[in-house]
Chain A
């Protein structure tokens, strides 16, 4: 490989690639690597330091049963956890259908009209609801003067209110937190956010509240619990504009805080304002129904600072698990689970009443609010028998039962309150006192056949396999997505996720029960400091974009503390990820773009000019390094110095950290803050579009501002509000990054970077004779990724206009997922091989690209028809290739088996080229509508 690259050694290549001024002077000070066996043995010791208690704390996190068929075939299956976000829909029909199930489930249970494909967590979903309703209301004529106000019921979860405070302040929204019954709306009030069942477990009939709010022009968002909605009238039927919450208890382990999928549902008329991803249907080239991501113009990669949210990574894997949980149980199964949970809560209430313990919730689902004059004794007894209750600041207790609670558990709870705990022999089938008519749900839900058609394990297993076969994951072939770092997610890193000692901990359990987790947090934070060169870390942010928001809020707090509250300008290179401007706007900043030189580097003159122009207002520069153009810019230290000279801070977007680890660092280039996409560089799988983790690391002067949390001692001495619902974000998947670091060790981590650079430069050397490469250092070296320019070929192919999309779709016929299309430069493909790919796989990819280049040349030379050719009709499905009719001028073999290696492991795209405009013009985002749609589109054709 080095011979082809033209470098005498790997060290020499690295020297040619990374400017010497920013190279680390010494190797990482981290322990050596461990074998998988050693690591897992070591981790078992760590696990043994976590104590798994029965947690009846509630507050949005409930123990649950992940059906084994879902554990084995989804959660632990690389076919589901390794794919990327389904932008290339033709090779993602399996998980798109699964997300479509999730959207349908959410729509049905909430009683709303449309649901998205998940958000990061319940607390941030509340923030998204607030921002969306403000946008909706801003379009309303006759806006009131003064600061916009948002009412928030004080009976929302405390972590939700805390996140809302942090989101409201930079947007200039005044948050009015008060009791539901004392709500008063001003002319400036644009929205109200309320919750049922609420933080204490009370169920509210919100009809009067909502109708009164709407009469005053106030839109209402309701946080709720999906399981309870199988029995209770859903907020949608009470007139809510937005309904959101967590789908965690639908089969997703608590995991000490996450990851879990939040859900978000609203009315059709707000569809263009929805945050996050939305799966819709369209038709493919053959007129058949196909799934795709809809209305992408809402998203940050297109609309940037005007996007509906900075959300990029969501929680696809967890949404899919929740959706499959509903598919497996069906409406009757879910109702039975809910009835049992509610019945156990009722039984517990009766037994505690017999002991003289008062229960204060009038109507509840699963959570009792108990008055006790001997809380300390109860706490002691509960802990002694391994139980956590919620001890409220007001002196009461909450006990929330869940799907895993059994009769013996109820008796143990009763015993902790001083009861005898005698089992009277009654089984689980406790008599259920039904909800009174105004609250009892009467409308059907999950009526589509998919919910209930797979209630046997045999059927479910085959359904899951059938879907998985439609998708390209890392278990299929290399996924060369530039900027996405699709590297191996090692099985040994993944295994411990389902160990109960990690999966069954409640995030608000007493810290002493999670010593193992806390040691892991300390070691991981220490390693991140070592790798980034920074002083302190917050593990809270659940995605890269959330890390950006958190980092900018930390910078903002720093400036405020320095008496420079009006520093609100963020300089952004035009090549920045779309999340950067979207996050900056959320943090109350103004975006000022900085241009690029023709070579793709930041234009230093433009930067200096703009930094000087905004000298008194400069808050920060956001910069990706190596740049989104895939180059280690020579001037990066000068860039940082210019910003510092004008009083700004430098935020380094760690998306490209895979090219830095062990060789250079954000601190070495001169930055003050960075986030790390643990789901890129540190091996957390992409899950088909989430989970992710975006912890931030900061220099010492910023450490005091790291985010706090209402339920745990985290953050600095002047902490900003929490930016996620859980104190340590998606704690359970930190295990994966931890395993990656422990098993590779200092040398292995650094070698990973070196091989990533080698692989990218190898691809450049092999493909540069065939496709122009856009950016490189003056010596021709690139970092860990590179951009192929397809525009000259489009030009040369004349009327055929062969473009980057044609190449992306044609690669599917060769068994590959496309590179990143049209980012950061329109009309290009960006390739990142990562260190995980072997020379053999790189060669197969290069051969595919070279063969496609030949196919393009045939069009250019007129040897292939400009419109009826292998590129324009790609991808080719098995049905199309084997059809009795074949009318194309090229052969079937050429269509489906263009190279010898393809035959050995043929991947068949399940649908043909998808008609994207048709799907956006005829938007359908849930089942039932989809069938009518398919019938209608057949009629139209």
Chain B
């Protein structure tokens, strides 16, 4: 699966798609492959502020559980509640399935993230 060029990526396998100060955050195709069938996502409350690199939730498969780390700092302005009943969407289309939307407090932080080519190199 191709890694969208418009996204930025973390070494912990999250992606962020930034539109002005709104950032959609999800996990990468590589992450969902490593996890296997996703069964549950622990979502944060709307309104929570999180720092770059901070855990804002977790994602579980049958056999493992991983923390979700925020690519940038910001406030959670929306969570994808459809994942409560349909967590497998992360497996089916990881790059179309956002988990939270952040109001990004410091867009400059994205400079430290990976672009698609760098991320593809990382997971080689």
In the complex, what residues of B have CB within 8 A of residue A921's CB? 39-40, 87-88
Check: A751 CB closer than 8 A to any chain B CB.
Answer: no
Q: Mark A423-448, 1 if CB is under 8 A from B, else 0.
A: 00000000000000000000000000
Q: Mark B18-37, 1 if CB is under 8 A from A, else 0.
A: 00000000000000000011
Check: A916 CB closer than 8 A to any chain B CB.
Answer: yes
**Size of the chain A interface, CB-CB below 8 angstroms:** 11
- Of the residues B39, B42, B64, B65, contact of A917 by C-beta under 8 Å: B39
CB of A295 to closest CB in B, whole Å:
8
In the complex, what residues of B have CB within 8 A of residue A296's CB? 62-63
Q: Mark A118-140, 1 if CB is under 8 A from B, else 0.
A: 00000000000000000000000
In the complex, what residues of B have CB within 8 A of residue A303's CB? 65
CA distance A221 to B87 in the complex (A): 31
Check: B17 CB closer than 8 A to any chain A CB.
Answer: no
In the complex, what residues of B have CB within 8 A of residue A141's CB? 45
In the complex, what residues of A have CB within 8 A of residue B40's CB? 272, 297, 920-921
Check: B52 CB closer than 8 A to any chain A CB.
Answer: no
**Size of the chain B interface, CB-CB below 8 angstroms:** 15
Contact present for B65 and A920 (CB under 8 Å): no
In the complex, what residues of A have CB within 8 A of residue B65's CB? 297, 302-303
Given A917-B88, A921-B87, A302 contacting B39 (CB threshold 8 A)? no
In the complex, what residues of B have CB within 8 A of residue A920's CB? 39-40, 60, 62
CA distance A225 to B65 in the complex (A): 36
Check: B105 CB closer than 8 A to any chain A CB.
Answer: no
In the complex, what residues of B have CB within 8 A of residue A302's CB? 63-65
Check: B61 CB closer than 8 A to any chain A CB.
Answer: yes
Query: Which residue, of B39, B40, B42, B65, has the highest number of chain A Cβ atoms within 10 A?
Result: B39
Contact present for A917 and B45 (CB under 8 Å): no
Q: Mark A910-941, 1 if CB is under 8 A from B, else 0.
A: 00000011001100000000000000000000
When C-beta atoms are compared, the residue in chain B nearest to A920 turns out to be B39
Q: Mark A269-300, 1 if CB is under 8 A from B, else 0.
A: 00010000000000000000000000011000
CB of B65 to closest CB in A, whole Å:
4
Contact present for A917 and B60 (CB under 8 Å): no
CA distance A568 to B37 in the complex (A): 38
In the complex, what residues of A have CB within 8 A of residue B63's CB? 296-297, 302, 822
Contact present for B45 and A297 (CB under 8 Å): no
CA distance A916 to B87 in the complex (A): 14
In the complex, what residues of A have CB within 8 A of residue B61's CB? 297, 917
CA distance A543 to B102 in the complex (A): 46
CA distance A296 to B36 in the complex (A): 15
CA distance A302 to B63 in the complex (A): 7
Contact present for A272 and B42 (CB under 8 Å): yes
CA distance A920 to B40 in the complex (A): 8
In the complex, what residues of B have CB within 8 A of residue A822's CB? 63
CB of A32 to closest CB in B, whole Å:
48
Q: B44-99: which residues lie under 8 A (CB-CB) from chain A?
A: 45, 60-65, 87-88
Query: Which residue, of B61, B62, B65, B88, has the highest number of chain A Cβ atoms within 10 A?
Result: B62
CA distance A297 to B64 in the complex (A): 6
CA distance A916 to B37 in the complex (A): 9
Q: A141-B45, A921-B40 are in contact. List 6 more A-B contacts (CB 8 A).
A: A296-B63, A917-B36, A917-B62, A920-B39, A920-B60, A921-B39
Can you offer 13 A-B residue contacts whose CB atoms are under 8 A?
A: A296-B62, A296-B63, A297-B40, A297-B65, A302-B63, A302-B64, A302-B65, A303-B65, A822-B63, A917-B36, A917-B37, A917-B61, A920-B40
Nearest first, the 6 A-B pairs at minimum CB distance are A917-B37, A920-B39, A916-B62, A297-B65, A297-B60, A921-B39
Binding site for A on B (CB under 8 A): 36-40, 42, 45, 60-65, 87-88
